[in-house]
Amino acid sequence: MLCSDEVTTIRKSFPSLEELVFNMLSQGDGTISVSTFFDALQAKGLTLNDPRLKESMDNFRSKHLPQFPERIGDKYLTADEFKDCVQDNIVLIGRALQNKLIIPDFPEFAATIQETFEEAKNNETGELADYIPQLARQDPNAWGVSICTIDGQRCSFGNTSDHFSFQSSSKAPAYALASTLMGSDFVHRHIGFEPSGQSFNALFLNNNNTPHNPMLNSGAIVTAALIKPELTAADRFDFIMSKFREAAGGEYIGFSNATFLSEKKTGFRNFAITYLLQDYNCFPPGADPVDTLELYFQICSLEVNCESASVMAATLANGGICPLTGKKVFESVAVRDTLSLMLSCGMYDFSGQFAFKVGMPAKSGVSGCVMLVVPNIMGIMMWSPLLDNFGNSCRGIQFCQDLVTHFNFHNYDNLRHHSAKKIDPVTQRTHSQATRTMKLLFGAYNGDASALRQYFLQGMDMAESDYDSRTALHLAAAEGHTECVEFLLEKCNVSPDVLDRWGHTPLDDARLFGHTGVVDILENFKARRQEET
């Protein structure tokens, strides 16, 4: 065995994260091309304007090309210059380049999303909402999908920077906000939990004479009354806008005064709902019903684009913390409640079918937007103005349904003994492949040579690796299992030079943990192989 000093020396001799990244991407002449580095980050789904990379991007430009910052990609830097630029953000950069972000193979994932997007584009069914001119004038061909993962990996297809009216999709973050501020118990003294079985703007309350849930108009009007009631109308509006913007990582949140004026002018049903709520004492004491309704109209008239709203959805997927800024916007319990109600009530009268077929929380809006949350993985915002009979975006619904044919995102896709072969983009494998790999690695870790023989005979790829790129040979070497190491090298022809996530070979592991028997086997094998070539 090695003594602890030797272990420390070996550990110290491992390169720093900055060096690892440099070595991974540098050219033969000992420099790194800045554009190669940027391309590598973008291939992992990060964008160069990500606030978490700001310090590095500023360093590259100000230290190396202050006069022509836009041409920074043309520069080549030495290892020291590179390290000096990236060290402030090296943890994120290191995680991305070592495939440690939630979707490790982002290009492959994004390619499937693009295919799904293109297929839905062919769907030209549906009608524009026409109750106000601002929605009737929307472009029927517009179609956009943006994704933001809980690690801030982004991809966008179609009209994703066009602004559109947030409408009823705003009910989800508005409820998360009210529940964060007031607590669930207080909010639900005023609003119920159940799907209504009625249209979203029905003049109808539940048996307790409260709104059925916060995802339909009556519930959302009461929700508006619960957000900072102590402030003036102007300050309440500013407060909501700033919270929504925080949830969107500082990205686009606007307001359409024209939409607001139209909503107010034509919203007879919403006035009727508000007076019914007032008649049944549904508002908290002191709330002015008409001011509250105006605030509700203002929230519906906020504008977003697919990109900014995908970040909001990702904040919900991430338990209330914005993935791009790390800021806590909503309480996690409030987010859990929001997702529960989105799942049961978020898609109007299609909510039951949507929960059945898609199995994920979503909230649609009459402008044709659908905000979809894949809990703990990503947020997705879709927008296409043509609506089906339920008032949901036709392309949005098709996209959601197709999405779960590719990926294991449905709530119950991961049920034991479920046979569907869907991709898990987090582990990059189908469920059964991942299970087989884990069994192989487990066998190697335990030194179970007979299990390895059995997997080999079954035709399994013995070089399979886990999330950290650790192979069976790494584990057998690190644990000192000589028989397994010999079997893997001699019979299965696995390479002894394979690197794990930290750039270590099986030989490094055997040395680090002082397994001299394994060290000898690996060194002899390599020497023999060199003689042969």
Report the residue number, 266 or 432, with the smaller CB distance to ligand GLN. Answer: 266
Report the residue number, 366 or 404, with the smaller CB distance to ligand GLN. Answer: 366
- For position 217 contacting ligand GLN by CB under 6 A, the verdict is yes
Report the residue number, 160 or 168, with the smaller CB distance to ligand GLN. Answer: 168
Q: Contacting ligand GLN (CB under 6 A), which of 98, 149, 168, 465?
A: 168
Directed axis angle between helix 257-266 and helix 289-300, to 10°? 130
Directed axis angle between helix 516-532 and helix 472-479, to 10°? 130
3-state SS assignment for residue 362: strand
Q: Contacting ligand GLN (CB under 6 A), which of 56, 146, 201, 213?
A: 201
- For position 270 contacting ligand GLN by CB under 6 A, the verdict is yes
Smallest distance from the beta carbon of 220 to ligand GLN, in angstroms? 8
Binding mask 483-522 for ligand GLN (x = CB under 6 A): ----------------------------------------
Smallest distance from the beta carbon of 395 to ligand GLN, in angstroms? 16
DSSP string, 82-131: HHHHHGGGHHHHHHHHTT-SSSSSHHHHHHHHHHHHHHHHT----B---S
- For position 263 contacting ligand GLN by CB under 6 A, the verdict is yes
- For position 147 contacting ligand GLN by CB under 6 A, the verdict is no
Report the residue number, 203 or 321, with the smaller CB distance to ligand GLN. Answer: 203
Report the residue number, 26 or 259, with the smaller CB distance to ligand GLN. Answer: 259
Smallest distance from the beta carbon of 65 to ligand GLN, in angstroms? 47
Smallest distance from the beta carbon of 347 to ligand GLN, in angstroms? 11
- For position 292 contacting ligand GLN by CB under 6 A, the verdict is no
Q: Contacting ligand GLN (CB under 6 A), which of 101, 300, 309, 370?
A: 300
Helix, strand and coil percent figures for the chain, each rounded to 5: 55, 10, 35
- For position 274 contacting ligand GLN by CB under 6 A, the verdict is no
- For position 158 contacting ligand GLN by CB under 6 A, the verdict is no
> What whole-number distance in Å separates Cα of residue 247 and Cα of residue 224?
18
Sequence-separated (6 or more) residues with CB below 8 Å from residue 47 = 154
Give, as one character, the DSSP assignment of residue 321: B
Residue 365 — φ and ψ, nearest 5°?
Answer: -140, 155
* Residue whose CB is nearest to ligand GLN in the complex, by number: 168
Which among 121, 129, 123 is positioned nearest to 167, based on CA atoms? Answer: 129
- For position 167 contacting ligand GLN by CB under 6 A, the verdict is yes
Residue 395 has a CB neighbour count (10 Å cut-off) of 30
How far, in Å, are 82, 242, 270, 311 from residue 247 at the CA level? Answer: 33, 9, 27, 7
- For position 386 contacting ligand GLN by CB under 6 A, the verdict is no
Smallest distance from the beta carbon of 365 to ligand GLN, in angstroms? 4
Residue 327 — φ and ψ, nearest 5°?
Answer: -85, 135
Smallest distance from the beta carbon of 289 to ligand GLN, in angstroms? 15
Q: Please give the radius of gyration of the chain, using alpha carbons only, rounded to the nearest integer.
A: 28
Q: HSE, CB side, 13 Å, CA atoms: give it for residue 144.
A: 26
Residue 370 has a CB neighbour count (10 Å cut-off) of 27
- For position 196 contacting ligand GLN by CB under 6 A, the verdict is no
Give, as one character, the DSSP assignment of residue 505: -
Q: Which helix (H) or strand (E) holds 80?
A: helix 79-86
Smallest distance from the beta carbon of 314 to ligand GLN, in angstroms? 21
Smallest distance from the beta carbon of 19 to ligand GLN, in angstroms? 53
Report the residue number, 86 or 221, with the smaller CB distance to ligand GLN. Answer: 221
DSSP string, 391-408: SSBHHHHHHHHHHHHHBS
Q: Please tell me the count of residues contacting ligand GLN according to CB under 6 A.
A: 11
Smallest distance from the beta carbon of 269 to ligand GLN, in angstroms? 7
Binding mask 358-377 for ligand GLN (x = CB under 6 A): -------xx-----------
Contacts of ligand GLN in 302-361 (CB under 6 A): none
- For position 200 contacting ligand GLN by CB under 6 A, the verdict is yes
> What whole-number distance in Å separates Cα of residue 472 and Cα of residue 445?
7
Q: Rule CB under 6 A: which residues touch ligand GLN? A: 167-168, 200-201, 217, 263, 270, 300, 365-366, 391
